[in-house]
Amino acid sequence: MPKDGAEKAIIDALEPLAAEHGIDVVDVEMVGATKNPTVRVRIDGADEAAAAITLDEVAEQTEWISTAIDGLDPFPGSFTLEVSSPGLARPLRKPRDFERFAGEEVSLSTTATEGRRKFSGKLLGIDGDGVVGIDAGDEGEIRIPLEQIRKCVIKPNFDLPGKTGKSD
């Protein structure tokens, strides 16, 4: 997925260090004003079989992340750093994310300049050519090259098994 500028520089600086700390950099996002941006770094444990990262673990990792970004000095002024877990609407960025979360419902936007840019459906995975497949229900399977995906997140499912949402 295309990341450029400061976001890409931050990801490139953090990923080698993250491996040393047993952490996976899920995503980096910059929001807010350019003079004082907020840098959001979403992390998770590198062991995909382990439970989701805890708040205490996020707090433990924040210091080295802050030091690494400060050393990179990506902004002329100050910035606010937010380090968090990926949350329920987990962003998918790497090819292995699209493999790991196959079967999940996702919302995806592309870099397309013409035609449709937003899709949602069941993630089918990614093939060897870097093409992501989505089962979009009545529309059938949609295939999108990874480099054309601007953003893809898991759609949280708030339905509890056995609950109808109706009051008794």
Q: Quick one: pLDDT at residue 137?
A: 86
Query: Given the DSSP bridges, would you call strands 118-126 and 105-110 parallel, antiparallel or unpaired?
Result: antiparallel
pTM > 0.75: yes or no? yes
Query: Given the DSSP bridges, would you call strands 38-45 and 80-84 parallel, antiparallel or unpaired?
Result: parallel
Q: Quick one: pLDDT at residue 20?
A: 94
- Residue 101 corresponds to which amino acid? F
Give the pLDDT confidence of 76-128 residue by residue, as tens digits: 788 899 999 999 999 999 999 999 999 999 999 999 878 889 999 999 999 98
Q: Which residues pair with 43 in a beta bridge?
A: 25
Give the pLDDT confidence of 131-147 residue by residue, as tens digits: 999 998 888 899 999 99
Q: Which residues pair with 38 in a beta bridge?
A: 31, 80
Residue among 28, 110, 22 nearest 69 (CA) = 28
C-beta atoms surrounding 108 within 10 Å: 23
Give the pLDDT confidence of 28-72 residue by residue, as tens digits: 999 988 788 999 999 999 888 888 899 999 999 999 999 999 998
C-beta atoms surrounding 73 within 10 Å: 8
